[in-house]
Amino acid sequence: MAKSKYTVIIMRDDADVKRFKAGPALLRFAGYLVSALVLAAAGGVFGAYRLWRANAVVVEEKKALEQRLAGVNIKLERLQNIERILVSNDPSELKTLLATIAPETQPKNADKNADKAAAKDAAAAATAPPPPAPAEPDKTQTAKGPFEGIPKVDLNVVGVENISMRFDAKGLVLGFGLKNVDPKSTISGNVGLALITASGQLVDVSAKEELGFKIQLFKQMTANIALPPSLSKADVAGLKLTISSSGKTIFSDVYPVSQN
C-alpha cells in the first residue's frame, strides 16, 4: 500500500490553481523548523536583554570610576601645588597656604567643644539682664552695607574655594583655590580684582603676579595687591573677584576683608 501524502492547493483569483503533495515527514520537519526558529528568536531577545543590562552596569561603574579618578587627580594636583609652595620657600605663599589648610587640621572634637561652649553662652545669656537698646545707626551710611547692588555671576564653570585675605606692610595678600567644575575639559581665562570701599565704591586693582590660568582640575593661586594711594587699610571693606574666559564673565563674587 502506498504511503499517504497530503495535497496542498493554492488558489488565487488572478492565477491558475497550484497544487503540490507533501508527505507527513516533510510536514513534521517544517513544523520542527518553525518551532526551532521561534525558540532561537526568543533566545536571541533574552540574550540581547541580558547583554543590555550588563552593559548598563558597566557604564555606571565606568562613571563612578571616572568620578573617583577626577577626585584623586584634584587631590594630587593640590599636593603638587603645596610641594611647589614649600620648595619655593616664599613667606607670603607659605602664610597663605597655612591660612588655607588651618581649618582642615582642627581636632575632631572641636565641634563638640564649640557646642558645649555655645550651650554655656546661651545659659549665661538667659540669666543675664537684657542689653541696652542699640544706638541709632548713622544715616549717612547705606543701611544694607557696601556690597549691596554688586551683581554676582556663577555659570558653574569654575569654583573658588578656600579663599583667604590678610593685610601686610605692602598691601593685601590674597590666596584661593581655583577648581574646574568639568575636569574632562580644560578651561583658561583671567582673574580680575577690585577693592570695595566702605561706601560701596569699586576700585580696580592689579596684582604683582600674572593671574591668567589654564587648568583641567585645580590650581592654587596667590596674589599680592598693592593698595592705591587714595585708599588706606581702613577704607577697604571687601574684594570683588571676577573670572572671565574667552571675553565672557563666568564667575563673579564679593568677599569681605577682615581688618585684623
Residue 236 grid coordinates? 577697604
pLDDT score recorded for residue 94: 65
Q: What is the pLDDT of residues 238-253, one digit of tens each?
A: 999 999 998 899 999 9
pLDDT score recorded for residue 233: 85
pTM over 0.75? The answer is no
Instruction: Return d(Cα 19, Cα 29) in angstroms, integer.
Output: 20
Residue 240 grid coordinates? 570683588
3-state helix, strand, coil in the chain (%, to 5): 40, 30, 30
Task: Please give the average pLDDT of every successive group of 10 residues along the chain, which has 260 residues.
Answer: 70 77 79 90 90 89 85 79 70 63 50 57 56 45 64 90 86 89 87 89 84 86 87 88 91 86
Judge contact between 162 and 178, C-beta under 8 A: no
List of residues 6+ apart from 117 with CB closer than 8 A: none
According to the CATH classification, is domain 144-256 in 2.60.40.10?
Answer: no
